Structure 1
Amino acid sequence: MIGEKIVSFETIDSTNRFLKENFSRYPDGTVVVALEQTSGYGRNKRRWHSPRGGLWFSVLFKPRKRVELVFYTKVFSVAIVKTLETLKVRAGIKWPNDVYIYGRKLAGILTEGIFEGKKPMAIVVGVGMNVNNEIPDELKTRAISLEEILGKEVSLMRLMEAILKNARVLLRRYIKKKEALTRIWKRYLLQKEGDTVTFLEDNQEKRGKILKISSDHLLVETDEGVKKVYSLSPH
């Protein structure tokens, strides 16, 4: 069960990296949490500023059957949004894996797999959330903390426990009904079909209209034709 075993660190390079390197030593559902990460990272290996005061943890899964990585991303992104709802905070999911409020990033999820051929040996889901940490000046227009939203400090362990509890419920409820979870995830998405988005292609920003939202890509109509988009602009 998620969170039955919790491994804590004061400082670590990356909770995701630790579980990827040590997954064989720990049971399914193990959670690794750190007060700070020195080399936290997100999608496309973008550096994630992870100082003390934030919530930085990873969860280990050892599925018996093949499960797409994106399913776990949806479980945790929806779990975070539902947890925030109990704090009277209305957040949305920026496709495919970030939680935003007031147009600024509050949290991100990174799901990584360790495979033997096509068989998943382990899946690691990393969660990074700005909670009580100071946001660097250069990121203040793009990132926000929960303390800034609520006007008070938040217990990191209680917050993590609430997210894990919601994740357990979602996992149990939707592991055999993945399409139903996708419908919930889409309801929380900030991007809707018909919206204009900015995306990255060959490190260049381009714009287009979303025709269709899939779990791992967007179909976007641009001046150059319809494109499959795998990464939106971080701004």
Structure 2
Amino acid sequence: MVYPENFEQKIGFDKIRELLEQQCISPLGVKHVERIRFEAGHGAVQEMLNRAEEFRQILLSGKAFPNSGYFDLTNELKRIQIKGTYIELEWLFDLKTSLQTINACLKYFDDAEDGLYPQLTALTEGMEPQEGLLKEIERIMDDKGEIRDSASSALKEIRQKLHRKQLSIDGRIRKSMQEARKAGLVPDDAEVTIRSGRMVIPVIASGKRQLKGFIHDESATGQTVFIEPTEVFDLNNE
């Protein structure tokens, strides 16, 4: 225990810690800096100085060290330990990126000349590249963070059905638009548009009862209503 309790404030150590926090590139780094306390032991201080010097040499070497992809997954990894829970897509992508970064860091020190960075290399002791887990995540997730169609046969089938359904919806709404145009129910320059996430036809208010469907919206003037044809509405609600 350091005495007095405000010793760090008296010598400005707290300001140094704040400056370090500003240079951190991840929440994990900030948490680590927050735990740093004034150290008077010669051995411990020398060890930290050696680590700092080794990293300075890395920066001077020009050989880029992995400097991105550091995420704090602590809470999420704890949460999914509960039976019946699963990792959210966003967190799975962060986990994938984190594993890639960890592997890159381990490879960096493995490829370095023996004895070049002993203090930093010691920090990686006991760590193993999680290649199996990373490959499994990469099998189901692409580089954009989207689940691949090939992730499972069931997912592939579902997406194919949805794609066919969307093509059917597109075809029917276009056909309804052509029929409404021929009947003089839509303005000459009107096109199919989107309202409330649905494809709709802009219909002249006076003709709204001639096109069967669900009214999603109307223009500010009230002269145009936006209708989703019944057959398209039914398809969307399947």
TM-score computed with the length of structure 2 as normaliser: 0.23
Report 1 or 2 for greater relative contact order, CA contacts < 8 Å, sequence distance ≥ 6: 1
TM-score computed with the length of structure 1 as normaliser: 0.23
